[in-house]
Structure 1
Amino acid sequence: MKILCVCGMGFGSSLMLKMTVEKVIQKKGLNAEAEATDIGTASGTQADLILTNNEFASQLEGGSVPVKAVMNMASEDEVEKAIDEYLDSK
Protein backbone atom coordinates (compact mmCIF):
# COMPACT_ATOMS: atom_id res chain seq x y z
CA MET A 1 0.00 0.00 0.00
CA LYS A 2 1.25 3.47 -0.86
CA ILE A 3 0.11 6.46 1.20
CA LEU A 4 0.66 9.91 -0.27
CA CYS A 5 1.13 12.76 2.23
CA VAL A 6 0.28 16.07 0.56
CA CYS A 7 0.87 19.74 1.36
CA GLY A 8 1.30 22.89 -0.67
CA MET A 9 5.02 22.68 -1.38
CA GLY A 10 5.77 19.04 -0.56
CA PHE A 11 8.37 19.58 2.15
CA GLY A 12 6.62 21.16 5.15
CA SER A 13 3.59 19.63 6.74
CA SER A 14 3.66 16.71 4.29
CA LEU A 15 7.02 15.61 5.71
CA MET A 16 5.67 15.86 9.25
CA LEU A 17 2.64 13.82 8.18
CA LYS A 18 4.89 11.28 6.43
CA MET A 19 6.86 10.74 9.65
CA THR A 20 3.61 10.23 11.57
CA VAL A 21 2.31 7.82 8.93
CA GLU A 22 5.56 5.83 9.10
CA LYS A 23 5.18 5.49 12.89
CA VAL A 24 1.62 4.22 12.48
CA ILE A 25 2.62 1.82 9.69
CA GLN A 26 5.37 0.38 11.88
CA LYS A 27 3.13 0.16 14.96
CA LYS A 28 0.39 -1.65 13.01
CA GLY A 29 2.83 -3.87 11.11
CA LEU A 30 1.42 -2.82 7.74
CA ASN A 31 3.13 -3.54 4.44
CA ALA A 32 2.98 0.08 3.31
CA GLU A 33 5.11 3.06 2.36
CA ALA A 34 4.58 6.79 2.75
CA GLU A 35 5.65 9.50 0.34
CA ALA A 36 5.55 13.29 0.81
CA THR A 37 4.60 15.45 -2.17
CA ASP A 38 3.11 18.77 -3.21
CA ILE A 39 -0.49 19.23 -4.32
CA GLY A 40 0.47 19.81 -7.96
CA THR A 41 2.22 16.46 -8.19
CA ALA A 42 -0.27 14.54 -6.06
CA SER A 43 -3.01 14.14 -8.65
CA GLY A 44 -0.60 12.48 -11.08
CA THR A 45 1.09 10.21 -8.54
CA GLN A 46 -0.10 6.64 -8.16
CA ALA A 47 -1.16 5.83 -4.59
CA ASP A 48 -3.72 3.84 -2.62
CA LEU A 49 -4.58 6.61 -0.15
CA ILE A 50 -3.99 10.35 0.08
CA LEU A 51 -3.68 12.06 3.46
CA THR A 52 -3.68 15.86 3.61
CA ASN A 53 -5.31 18.84 5.34
CA ASN A 54 -8.94 19.95 4.83
CA GLU A 55 -8.09 22.61 2.25
CA PHE A 56 -6.21 20.28 -0.07
CA ALA A 57 -8.56 17.35 0.56
CA SER A 58 -11.42 19.26 -1.06
CA GLN A 59 -9.21 19.94 -4.09
CA LEU A 60 -8.08 16.32 -4.45
CA GLU A 61 -11.41 14.55 -3.85
CA GLY A 62 -13.28 13.06 -6.75
CA GLY A 63 -10.36 11.19 -8.27
CA SER A 64 -9.69 7.47 -8.27
CA VAL A 65 -7.69 7.60 -5.00
CA PRO A 66 -9.48 7.97 -1.64
CA VAL A 67 -8.61 11.18 0.21
CA LYS A 68 -8.69 11.61 3.99
CA ALA A 69 -8.24 14.95 5.75
CA VAL A 70 -6.03 15.07 8.85
CA MET A 71 -6.29 18.10 11.14
CA ASN A 72 -3.21 17.42 13.29
CA MET A 73 -0.34 16.12 11.17
CA ALA A 74 1.55 14.94 14.26
CA SER A 75 -1.36 12.99 15.78
CA GLU A 76 -0.72 9.26 15.50
CA ASP A 77 -4.27 8.58 16.70
CA GLU A 78 -5.81 10.72 13.96
CA VAL A 79 -3.59 9.24 11.25
CA GLU A 80 -4.28 5.71 12.48
CA LYS A 81 -8.03 6.40 12.36
CA ALA A 82 -7.76 7.64 8.76
CA ILE A 83 -5.77 4.57 7.71
CA ASP A 84 -8.17 2.25 9.54
CA GLU A 85 -11.15 3.86 7.78
CA TYR A 86 -9.45 3.27 4.45
CA LEU A 87 -8.62 -0.37 5.30
CA ASP A 88 -12.17 -1.00 6.55
CA SER A 89 -13.56 0.25 3.24
CA LYS A 90 -11.56 -2.34 1.29
Structure 2
Amino acid sequence: MSELTIQAICGFGVGSSTLLKIKIQGVLKEMGIEATVFTGDISSACGAACDVIFTSSDLAENLQGRVHVPIVIIKSFVNQKEIKEKLQAFLENR
Protein backbone atom coordinates (compact mmCIF):
# COMPACT_ATOMS: atom_id res chain seq x y z
CA MET A 1 0.00 0.00 0.00
CA SER A 2 1.34 3.43 -0.94
CA GLU A 3 1.62 6.17 1.65
CA LEU A 4 -1.70 7.65 2.62
CA THR A 5 -2.39 11.32 1.90
CA ILE A 6 -5.05 13.00 4.03
CA GLN A 7 -6.45 16.50 3.59
CA ALA A 8 -8.02 18.28 6.58
CA ILE A 9 -10.53 20.91 5.45
CA CYS A 10 -12.08 23.89 7.22
CA GLY A 11 -13.70 27.10 6.02
CA PHE A 12 -10.52 29.13 5.55
CA GLY A 13 -7.89 26.37 5.58
CA VAL A 14 -6.04 27.73 8.61
CA GLY A 15 -7.42 27.37 12.17
CA SER A 16 -9.71 24.39 12.53
CA SER A 17 -8.04 22.39 9.79
CA THR A 18 -4.66 22.82 11.50
CA LEU A 19 -6.13 21.52 14.76
CA LEU A 20 -7.68 18.58 12.90
CA LYS A 21 -4.36 17.91 11.13
CA ILE A 22 -2.53 17.73 14.48
CA LYS A 23 -5.15 15.35 15.90
CA ILE A 24 -5.00 13.13 12.79
CA GLN A 25 -1.20 13.03 12.99
CA GLY A 26 -1.44 11.96 16.65
CA VAL A 27 -3.79 9.12 15.76
CA LEU A 28 -1.58 8.02 12.87
CA LYS A 29 1.47 7.97 15.13
CA GLU A 30 -0.43 5.95 17.74
CA MET A 31 -1.47 3.47 15.03
CA GLY A 32 2.03 3.29 13.52
CA ILE A 33 0.86 4.52 10.12
CA GLU A 34 3.00 6.69 7.85
CA ALA A 35 0.95 9.35 6.09
CA THR A 36 1.05 12.88 4.78
CA VAL A 37 -1.54 15.20 6.29
CA PHE A 38 -2.12 18.70 4.94
CA THR A 39 -4.70 21.43 5.39
CA GLY A 40 -6.92 23.26 2.97
CA ASP A 41 -10.12 25.18 2.48
CA ILE A 42 -13.25 24.32 0.57
CA SER A 43 -12.02 25.70 -2.77
CA SER A 44 -8.56 24.13 -2.63
CA ALA A 45 -10.05 20.74 -1.69
CA CYS A 46 -11.42 20.25 -5.17
CA GLY A 47 -8.04 20.38 -6.87
CA ALA A 48 -5.72 18.87 -4.29
CA ALA A 49 -4.41 15.33 -4.72
CA CYS A 50 -5.25 13.20 -1.68
CA ASP A 51 -6.70 9.82 -0.75
CA VAL A 52 -9.32 11.10 1.68
CA ILE A 53 -10.71 14.35 3.07
CA PHE A 54 -11.55 14.86 6.76
CA THR A 55 -13.95 17.73 7.45
CA SER A 56 -17.16 18.84 9.18
CA SER A 57 -20.62 17.82 8.02
CA ASP A 58 -21.54 21.26 6.66
CA LEU A 59 -18.39 21.48 4.55
CA ALA A 60 -18.80 17.86 3.42
CA GLU A 61 -22.17 18.82 1.93
CA ASN A 62 -20.44 21.53 -0.13
CA LEU A 63 -17.83 19.03 -1.34
CA GLN A 64 -20.28 16.30 -2.42
CA GLY A 65 -20.03 15.82 -6.18
CA ARG A 66 -17.03 18.16 -6.43
CA VAL A 67 -14.32 15.78 -5.20
CA HIS A 68 -13.54 12.23 -6.25
CA VAL A 69 -12.19 10.87 -2.97
CA PRO A 70 -13.97 9.68 0.17
CA ILE A 71 -15.04 12.34 2.66
CA VAL A 72 -14.87 11.50 6.36
CA ILE A 73 -17.13 13.65 8.52
CA ILE A 74 -15.77 14.58 11.92
CA LYS A 75 -18.22 16.02 14.46
CA SER A 76 -15.57 17.19 16.94
CA PHE A 77 -12.13 18.15 15.63
CA VAL A 78 -10.70 17.71 19.15
CA ASN A 79 -12.14 14.23 19.77
CA GLN A 80 -9.18 11.94 19.14
CA LYS A 81 -11.30 8.83 19.80
CA GLU A 82 -13.78 9.80 17.07
CA ILE A 83 -10.96 10.58 14.64
CA LYS A 84 -9.30 7.22 15.34
CA GLU A 85 -12.55 5.28 14.89
CA LYS A 86 -13.33 7.00 11.61
CA LEU A 87 -9.77 6.64 10.31
CA GLN A 88 -9.84 2.92 11.14
CA ALA A 89 -13.18 2.54 9.35
CA PHE A 90 -11.80 4.34 6.28
CA LEU A 91 -8.70 2.11 6.22
CA GLU A 92 -10.79 -1.06 6.54
CA ASN A 93 -12.92 -0.02 3.56
CA ARG A 94 -10.04 1.27 1.46
- Could you state the TM-score of these two structures normalised by the residue count of structure 1? 0.94
Amino acid at match of 1:76: Q
Query: Which consecutive segments of 4 or more residues in structure 1 shift more than 6 A?
Result: none
Extract unaligned runs of 5+ from structure 2.
none
SS at match of 2:34: coil
Give the corresponding residue for 1:19.
22
In structure 1, what is the Cα distance between the partners aligned to 2:27 and 2:56? Answer: 18
2:42 to 39, 60, 84: 39
Cα displacement string for residues 33-82 of structure 1 (whole angstroms, at most 9, x for unaligned residues): 11011111011001011000010111112332000110110111111111
SS at match of 1:34: strand
SS at match of 1:4: strand
SS at match of 2:90: helix
Q: Are 1:48 and 2:51 counterparts? A: yes
SS at match of 1:5: strand
SS at match of 2:50: coil
Give the corresponding residue for 1:65.
69
In structure 2, what is the Cα distance between the partners aligned to 1:14 and 1:32? Answer: 16
In structure 1, what is the Cα distance between the partners aligned to 2:64 and 2:6? Answer: 15
Give the corresponding residue for 2:85.
81
